[in-house]
Structure formats: C-alpha cells, structure tokens
Chain A
Amino acid sequence: KNEVEQSPQNLTAQEGEFITINCSYSVGISALHWLQQHPGGGIVSLFMLSSGKKKHGRLIATINIQEKHSSLHITASHPRDSAVYICAVGPTGNQFYFGTGTSLTVIP
C-alpha cells in the first residue's frame, strides 16, 4: 500500500469545469505539498500547507489533518492547466512521500 494515494489517476475535463483532485495519506506529516508538473517535466510548487485552506488565483488547496486528506480544486479550468498534479507529504525525518500523480487534460 502506498503511503500517499491520489485520485483520480487521469482526468479529462471541458474548459471551464470545476476540478477536484484528492490526496489521502497514511503517514504522519509536517506539511503537504501540491506540485504541478508540465509535459516537459518542469515542476512548479503550487501549495505547501499544514492546516486549513489556501487559495492562489483559480487554485484552492484544503487539508484535513484528522482525516489525513487533502484536495486540490481548480475553478474555471483552462487548457493551460493540463499537467500532472502531484501530492507530496512529509517530511518525516528526511523522507517525503509522493503520490503517483493525477494527469489532467482540459479540452477547449
């Protein structure tokens, strides 16, 4: 069993749709990251959070520590949002645990 589980693995949406990506984890954490990886591979840190909710533009991230669950929401999705979204939790000691990613495709 993976320490970090993401769902869905693949997601296709129409432009303008509201998108939710979920992350559940089983390890103790000090912080949870949402990362965006573009097709060329480059990684962008979207959020780092340890409680509550953060918003940046059309992106919202929430975390529920008791339930060990986080969600990433994208409002008014756009084709440029197409990327792989990775949930990472940790560190526990030096160890970060990564989800396998959610591949998002937004169709015009």
Chain B
Amino acid sequence: GAVVSQHPSRVICKSGTSVKIECRSLDFQATTMFWYRQFPKQSLMLMATSNEGSKATYEQGVEKDKFLINHASLTLSTLTVTSAHPEDSSFYICSARDSGGVRLYNEQFFGPGTRLTVL
C-alpha cells in the first residue's frame, strides 16, 4: 500500500534553533500534502496545506514566518520550525494526497509523525 514517511521521528533542539521535518510519499505522487500538529491529549489540528510548486496555505492562527513549508517536488514537503521555542514542542504529522490516476475520492495517507521537543 501507499506509504508516507517522516524524518526525523524524534528531534530535540535548543530554544532559538531551527528544525526541519521532511515528509515523503514513497510510492505515489502527491501534489498536495498537509501538516498537522497535535498537543498532548488533543486532536490533530491542521496547520497548513502544502501545494507542489506554489505557496502553502496556512490555517488561521498559524504563523507562516515561523512554520516554513516547502513542497519542491511531487514526493517531498518540508516543514521548518524557525527559532523554535518550548511552546513549539509538539507532535507534527503530515499526510499526502495521492494525485495520480482517477479515483472516486482523494485518497490521503498519513505519515507516522515527528516528536519535537524544544529545550
């Protein structure tokens, strides 16, 4: 089946540094990828929609200058948390929409997530 990978799975960084998280679709092309954030004991919340070759669309309340998204190819989107602070510590999950072929619905596949801890 389709697989979406994320790297790294866990990262610990110092306050003020930047962290890049990669999301890859391994066996399909994804013109659209999504980034979610999950705080402890809460649901996943959509942060932004990443479109290949164009600017990302951010949800209300998400700082686009802090969470930089780049979707440079059909199989890779990156989320960079700039000048990270302890309050950015969270679980970040991506999902990718299969854009190849004709389907009855847009199949979307979830990555395993990345645990970010900012000290």
Contact = CB atoms under 8 A, between A and B. Distances in A.
A94 B49 contact: yes
B91 to A, nearest CB: 5
Contact of A96 (B42, B57, B108): B108
Interface string A75-108: 0000000000010101100111011110000000
Given A31-B108, A43-B93, A94 B113 contact: no
Q: Is the interface of A mostly helix, strand, loop or mixed?
A: strand
A57 interface: no
B115 A43 contact: no
A96 B91 CA distance: 17
Interface residues of B, number: 25
A14 interface: no
Contacts of A44: 112
B67 interface: no
Interface stretch (A15-23, A33-41, A65-73): A33-41
A55 B24 CA distance: 27
A43 B91 CA distance: 10
Contacts of A33: 108, 110
A61 to B, nearest CB: 15
B44 A41 contact: no
Interface stretch (B13-21, B68-76, B77-85, B99-107): B99-107
A42 B34 CA distance: 17
A50 interface: yes
A42 B113 contact: yes
Given A33-B110, A96-B95, A40 B115 contact: yes
A88 B115 CA distance: 20
Contact of A30 (B42, B93, B106, B109): B106
In this complex, which of A30, A41, A86, A95 has the most chain B Cβ atoms within 10 angstroms of its Cβ? A41
B115 A101 contact: no
Interface of B: 9, 32, 34, 38, 42-44, 46, 49, 57, 91, 93, 95, 97, 104-113, 115
6 contacts: A43-B110, A43-B111, A86-B44, A94-B49, A96-B46, A96-B95
